Structures are given as structure tokens and as C-alpha cells.
Structure 1
Amino acid sequence: MPLSDQAQALLDMVYRVGAPRFHELSVAQARHSFEKLQFVFGGEPEAVASTLDVPLSRTDGSALIARLYRPLDAAPTEVLPLLIYFHGGGWCVGSVQSHDALCRRMVNRTGCAVLSVDYRLAPEHPFPAAVEDALFATEWALTHAQEFAFDPARLGLGGDSAGGNLALVTALRLRDRGAPALRCLCLIYPCTEIESSRPSREAYASGYFLDRESLSWFFERYLPDGDTSDWRVSPMRAHSLADLPPTIVVTAECDPLRDDGIAFVERARSEGVPAEHVDVAGMVHGFVTLGKWFPEANEVVDLISRKLRGHLAKVTVPE
């Protein structure tokens, strides 16, 4: 299927006006451009029961900031399942604010709390800073579950693009540490490999929003030494994907990362992981946060939220 009419219209507009692409901008300009894109084309922010910007304090005195959302229909003291969310943006751009509308929609439809993490960005903080922040935020949430009315036995991880990479890497690290099992993973067009020769990388390398040059721009800043061999960079290089929790993977048809996501689903299934694949026809990378422009964005968020609600539901033990 070709690009949807809405996707084609957006791309026509972007390329017609000659909007600079990420690789043509400074880091500060790229961050501003990304935030502006989300503001103009993102979904309308929904009302939620509460939001709280929480400092995740480290023992060395430093802290990350994360935003905690509680769904509109939740009682103030109700103990809720928790989805920890890592925003996309190539490890270089994006923020809690850029993904605010998405997290608000997800929190109301999943019925769980959502903790959106402002991990450190490259190039100021290259790999492995974001990886370490993602693990720290997850372990912090487990430690503070009672304080913030989370159920530590009902924990999921999610993220889009680079954030999907961080969610997956964190799940593998928790598994290797023998941590309590996660309930689910939600990976939205995740980056599973930095270097890839699968057909979609070339088929959608130019003119489909996430251009070849922009991918390189992100990778070079996240990995200034160019070493892509570490599995925490490319989780498809992990020795095993076995024992991951039930996993939802969303791909966009016209996305250079699509075939890498599909290859991950196939490998995960072959190693016993209950992996579900949602492929969205006619869409480009990044569409999920652009709910004001793409009706498919809201449809997909509602679909995966229903699936997450099921995975994170309280298990009734027969008496």
C-alpha cells in the first residue's frame, strides 16, 4: 500500500516549504523543531486525574525528572499498575513535554499510572547514559511503589523509536539481573539494530520523513565512537530474547526501521516470547505522536492501550 493521503499531504508540505531536516540543524535547533512538530500536529491534551513531576534522586545527589500521570477515573489512593514510558527522538531530541498528549491518552485508556522519563540526551550525554537512566528509573519505581501507589507486580515498559530501544534493553537487563518479571512490553517502531541491510532501510531512505541522513545524524551523536557492537545499542545482538514478557510491537509500513521491527518479532517468537505485531498501513515513522494530523495515531494508541490494560490487569487467585 502507498502512503496514506494524510501522510502524503504532510510530506508534501514539509518538503515543499523546504523545512530543514534534522541533519541540517544544530542540536538545539533540532530539539526546537521536534517540539514544535509535536505542538502543531500532536493530539489535544486530555484531562487526567493528576500529573506530578517527580525527581528520581540518585545517591550522588543528581536526579532525573519523570512525570507521573494517573487516569481520570482513578481514586486518589487507588493502587494502580504502572507503565514506565521512554519517549522517542533518536536519543537526542524529545522530552516528557513532547510526549505529554500521548501519555495522557494512554493513561486514560489503559487505566494504569504512567511514568514518563526525561532521560539524558546525546550528544551531551552519549551512550550509555540513556540506557543507564532507563534502568535506574525502572528500579527507582519499584523501590518507591508503595509511596506512589504502584503495584510492583503489575509493571510494564513502553516507548517509541529510541524509547522503544530503551524499553527493550531495560527489559533484557532486568531479566539478566533476575528481577521480578515484567507484565508486558510495548515497543512502537523501535530501533532494534543500528546497522541494518534489511530492505526497508533503503526503500524508505529518502522522502519518508526519517531520512537516511537523519538516521546517521542521530546515530553519530548517540555513538560518537561509532561502535555498534554492544547489544545495549542493538538489542537484536543480545545472546537471547527468551523470557521477555508478552510484547506488543507496532511498525509503520513506510518506515526505514520497519523490517528490523518485524525481524525482532520473528526472532522473539522463535525464542518463546508471546510477541504481537501491529503493522499500520500507509504510515511513516513518528506518526503515533501526531494525533491531530493522523487518525491512525489515535486508533493505534487506543488499540495498544486495550492490550496493555489486559496485560496489566489484576490477577484473581482462586480461593
Structure 2
Amino acid sequence: MTLDDATATLLAQLAAAGGPPMHEVTPVEARARIAGLAQLYPPGPEPDRSEDVLISGPGGELPARVLVPSNPRGILLYLHGGGWVVGSIAEHEALGRQLAEATRCTVVLASYRLAPEAPWPAAVDDAWAALTWVDAHRSELAVTGAPLVVAGDSAGGNLATILARRAREDSGPAIALQVLVYPVTDHDFDNASYTDPANQLALNRDTLRWFWDHYVAAEHRDHADVSPLRAEDLAGLPPAVVVTAEHDVLRDEGHAYAERLRAAGVAVDHRDFAGQMHGFFTMVGLLPAQGEALAHVAQLIDLHLAQEGAIR
């Protein structure tokens, strides 16, 4: 299937704006470009309460934004994407507001140190600090014992998978569900989705290589806390919602990770969105499929949290 009309139009508009591809600019320039795109998003629904907090991390204090709906019944820790190099909580606030309203969960948008200034494992360590902070504040963020969902897109999805596995291995916080939106799970730049000419769009093979080169040295890339698809054991992890996009270089590794989870006995709901490209889930107000995907994820979160409540 070809790209849908809305995506093709958006890509044409971005191309008309000019400028070199992301992998030919500096990280600082790339961050400014992504921040400029986010200014096109509408603000999103107003939460009942919004608060900025600082989380103590191994490299210093980490800003986080807490978006609280009326009578929250759960907590959703969201880790933004951006190849571990770009992205911010401010650029994801519109999405966070949508998630808070649609799921009736308190959404915590957590930041982490970016590469190349802070290479791996800084982002992993900061994400773990955010998870432990949320766990320690459950009764303040929602009801006492509220179920906790970890979620993220792209590099944030990578971090969410790592948190779920580390929590299992280290007897860490109880996680009810992991939501993985086109997650980075491997460093295979030669699979079918990476090399498909139809997938060389806003995010392409060269850009991913640029992200990886800034984030982690080649000798560490097989580590499970870098490439979760290469983890030896995925049994006993929380149920997973996996979203992938048809025209995304990360499509095949997202499919593969969903299948690895299933093979390990983990309950998985995986949907591949036809005609979509990488990044569509966060493009609030720009792509119709964004709303469709958000509703899909919110419905599955609702089902899982309803089951969690029944168990409790």
C-alpha cells in the first residue's frame, strides 16, 4: 500500500521548506528542526491539573511534566522518541494531554539526557530513575496502588522495553502494561524494512545510522539494554501493545519483537498501520491516522486496566 494522502501532502510540504537531511546537520540543528515541527501541533485537551517536577537522576535533576485528568485510575509513564538525540517533553505535551484524557491516567512525560552529550547508558539510567520516582509517588499521582503503564515511541519505546525487562530482573516496580510505538529494538540496518526504497522518508536508513552513531559505540550494540530484540529471555514481561507503521525502517524489528514476546508467552496486541510512516503517532492534528492510533492504544489500555482492577 502507498502512503496515505495526508502523509504524502505533509512530506511534500516539509520538502518544500528545504534544508539538508537530518543526518547532514548537527544534533543542535536537528533538535531545532524537530521543535519547529512540534509548533504545528494543537495544544491538546486541557488536563485537570498540570505540574512540572524534577526527578533526581544519576546525572542530575531531570524535568518531567505531570498531566492529571479528573479521577485518574492509573499512571502512564511516557518516554519520548527522537533517536536518543532529539526530542523533548514539551514537544510531546499535546500527545500526553490526549493520552491523559483518553485513558483517564495520569501521564508523566519524563525527560532523559540526550546523546551525543550523554551517550548510552545515560538514557537508560535516567528512564529507570523516572520509573522509580513514579512508583514512589503512585498514591499522589493517582489512587493508592494504581496500575502503572510504561510507554514510548521510537527510542522511547526502546527505553520502555528495557524498563519492563529490568523491573522483572531486579524485582522493580510492578508494571501492568507496556505500550511500544514503533520501538527501536535492534541495530540491523540491512533488513527488508530498512532497505526498502518506499521507507526512505522523513526517517530513513541514513538518519537511523546517524542516531545510533551518536548514541552508542558499535561494540555495545548487541547488549540487551541497547537492542532488546537480542535479550536472551523475554518471559514474564508485562502484556504489550505494539504499534508499527507500514512505511517505517523500524517496521520489521517491531514485528520481530512482538513475535519474540509472543513466543515467550507474553500477551501481545500488535497492529501495523497501513499507509503510515515513522512518527505518525506523535503528529497531533497533522495526520488523521494519529487520532485513529491514539484511540486504538487508549482502548487497549482501558481493557488492560479494567482487567487489572478486576484482579485487584
Q: What's the TM-score bracket when you normalise by the shorter of the two chains? A: over 0.9
Match of 1:315 in 2: 309
3-state SS of paired residue (1:121): coil
Match of 1:200 in 2: 193
Match of 2:164 among 167, 171, 178: 171
Superposed counterparts of 1:233-312, under 5 Å = 233-312=226-305
Query: In structure 1, how many angstroms separate the alpha carbons of the residues matched to 2:49 and 2:201?
Result: 37
Query: In structure 1, how many angstroms separate the alpha carbons of the residues matched to 2:255 and 2:297?
Result: 17
Match of 2:7 in 1: 7
Tell me by how many angstroms 1:94 deviates: 0.4
Is the aligned partner of 1:183 residue 2:176? yes
Deviates more, 1:184-193 or 1:210-219: 210-219
Tell me by how many angstroms 1:64 deviates: 1.1
Using CA pairs below 8 Å that are at least 6 residues apart, which structure has the higher relative contact order?
Answer: 1
Match of 1:93 in 2: 86
Match of 1:50 in 2: 49
Tell me by how many angstroms 1:246 deviates: 1.1
Query: In structure 2, how many angstroms separate the alpha carbons of the residues matched to 1:298 and 1:165?
Result: 22
Contact 1:168/1:185 (8 A) holds in 2? yes
Q: Amino acid of the residue matched to residue 315 of structure 1?
A: G
What TM-score do the two structures reach when normalised by structure 1? 0.92
Contact 1:80/1:151 (8 A) holds in 2? no
Question: Number of residues paired by the alignment?
Answer: 311
Match of 1:19 in 2: 19
Q: For the structure 1 residues 215 and 102, does the alpha-carbon distance in structure 2 shift closer, same or farther, using more than 3 Å as the test?
A: same
Query: In structure 2, how many angstroms separate the alpha carbons of the residues matched to 1:138 and 1:183?
Result: 13
Query: In structure 2, how many angstroms separate the alpha carbons of the residues matched to 1:206 and 1:25?
Result: 21
3-state SS of paired residue (1:98): helix
Q: Amino acid of the residue matched to residue 46 of structure 2?
A: A
Match of 1:140 among 116, 133, 139: 133
Query: In structure 1, how many angstroms separate the alpha carbons of the residues matched to 2:144 and 2:195?
Result: 44
Q: Amino acid of the residue matched to residue 34 of structure 2?
A: F
Is the aligned partner of 1:158 residue 2:154? no
The CA deviation string for residues 161-185 of structure 1, in whole angstroms up to 9 with x for no partner, is 0000000011000001123531101
Query: In structure 2, how many angstroms separate the alpha carbons of the residues matched to 1:170 and 1:247?
Result: 13
Unaligned runs of 5+ in 1: none
Contact 2:106/2:141 (8 A) holds in 1? no
Query: In structure 2, how many angstroms separate the alpha carbons of the residues matched to 1:138 and 1:263?
Result: 26
Q: For the structure 1 residues 216 and 153, does the alpha-carbon distance in structure 2 shift closer, same or farther, using more than 3 Å as the test?
A: same
Match of 1:108 in 2: 101
Contact 1:86/1:116 (8 A) holds in 2? yes
Q: Amino acid of the residue matched to residue 69 of structure 1?
A: L
3-state SS of paired residue (1:99): helix
Contact 2:75/2:138 (8 A) holds in 1? no
Contact 1:220/1:226 (8 A) holds in 2? no
The CA deviation string for residues 209-244 of structure 1, in whole angstroms up to 9 with x for no partner, is 112211111111101455312110000111111111
Q: Amino acid of the residue matched to residue 290 of structure 1?
A: M
- Which of the two has greater helix per residue? 2
Tell me by how many angstroms 1:267 deviates: 1.3
The CA deviation string for residues 94-127 of structure 1, in whole angstroms up to 9 with x for no partner, is 0000100000000000001011101111111100
